[in-house]
Chains A and B, each alone.
Chain A
């Protein structure tokens, strides 16, 4: 039969040579390999002090953005919740009252906005679906481990970007 690749090897059992039977050359070879590893660069990342470098398009914890005046961009249209394949996003919409223009950008806003971080798969589809550029996945934060399941449901208190006191870039 025509060989599929030139990597084919004969595997017939050959009688071992004296060096092979003596086992000592093989031990020396093995010791050489382990000694080489002894001086190799270590693979460990010293976690709390050092974090692994992330890609620039890495998708981490969600953030609800504010506009340049500090008003929340989200208008509770629900497109993110629809786009979400894990059904992690829930929200309730409310109407903006007079005098709240500096808080909410549009007439309709999200009264509650919750992301369940246990369900979320960090795919970033909410980010793509959002017409108002309100929700983004940050590239420098992640949802840390917690003891209670409730604590993984992030409400607006933890999602909305804090008010900036200085000029945004």
Chain B
């Protein structure tokens, strides 16, 4: 790889990292705002105009609080837990194609940090590593509630990853590729996967809620029954890291859902736009930039949906959660694979 490419990649990765952190930071603000709006309140509005500096105030508060470690806790693992959660959460946005390709000075610049032909598998691997952060933290706290929360997190993630993976297989059967860029490119224009995989998307969406430990599946951190679950003993910025990792995970899952089912950076009438501009380089760049905007709009809509659901639905009971995962979503995902396979065969047969 040339040094220019390396430099570009380094800058791009830094930018994506920054954007991820920024979005996660402001997710906390919008979470509170949306919660307030849904409950007929106005939410934080004192720190800065419209409360926009609230995340800074929160971070300042968390940083300056006492960094407490329980006496009987395993100190090394206690510190490692939130670190792992954070690291893993920030790693996963590396393979997501946030945009197509810019042409800068005759050089093709892809708006994706790393192009790997196993992008989907990478994301799944990294996201499932995230449960280690919760598990380590919950176990190291040496507290019954934390351990219960950690066990819940682990078993919940394992149960729902199954249905999630199976619903994904149907998409992979359609696209025939594991590369996220390839999957995105195949959904050009308005040819999104959601039109072919509505059931698969629904399963994926439900599983995404469970994977990110969001309501109605936030049993690992249910404050009413487990006084916070795996982060019972955490305070200060270590707690902040856990909460932050959750928001980063929401961002990543939203990006993955947009990529897999909602056409990533593709938007309707993009070919018309491309043809409307005579200069091919300019046309390509304009379409790409609009595509990036479209991608982020999709991501923000998903993040809003996550919060909207959180302030609408109550929490499941644990047996209901397991029943939903194994007895309903799992068979449905298999059915979805069969239907997709049948559809592909029929298409080959008739057309």
Contact = CB atoms under 8 A, between A and B. Distances in A.
Contact of A40 (B40, B311, B313): B40
A18 interface: no
A121 to B, nearest CB: 31
Contacts of B312: 27, 30-31, 33-34
A31 B37 CA distance: 13
Contacts of B40: 37, 40-43
Contacts of B37: 37-38, 42
Interface string B39-51: 1111001000000
A33 B311 CA distance: 11
Interface string A112-127: 0000000000000000
Given A31-B308, A35-B308, A37-B37, A42 B42 contact: yes
Contacts of A30: 312-313
A38 B309 contact: no
Kindly name the residue among B34, B308, B312, B313 whose own CB sees the greatest number of chain A CB atoms within 10 A. B312
Contacts of A27: 309, 312-313
Interface in A17-34: 24, 27, 30-31, 33-34
Interface string B312-331: 11000000000000000000
B43 to A, nearest CB: 9
Contact of A31 (B34, B41, B45, B309): B309
Nearest to A24: B202
A75 B198 CA distance: 85
A6 interface: no
A35 B309 CA distance: 10
Contact of A34 (B38, B41, B202): B38
Interface string B91-135: 000000000000000000000000000000000000000000000
Contacts of B45: 46
Interface string B296-315: 00000000000011011100
A18 B156 CA distance: 26
A44 interface: yes
Contacts of A46: 42, 45
A44 B41 contact: yes
A166 B91 CA distance: 74
B133 to A, nearest CB: 29
A44 B308 contact: no
Interface in B233-271: none
B313 A38 contact: no
A44 to B, nearest CB: 5
A27 B284 CA distance: 41
A30 B308 CA distance: 10
B185 to A, nearest CB: 32
A45 B124 CA distance: 47
A2 B45 CA distance: 56
A37 B38 contact: yes
B34 A38 contact: yes
A141 B176 CA distance: 74
Given A37-B38, A37-B39, A44-B42, 12 more contacts: A27-B309, A27-B312, A31-B312, A34-B311, A37-B37, A38-B34, A41-B40, A42-B40, A42-B42, A43-B40, A43-B41, A44-B41
Considering the complex of A and B, which 10 residue pairs feature the smallest CB-CB distances, nearest first? A34-B312, A34-B38, A44-B42, A38-B37, A30-B312, A43-B40, A42-B42, A37-B38, A38-B38, A31-B312
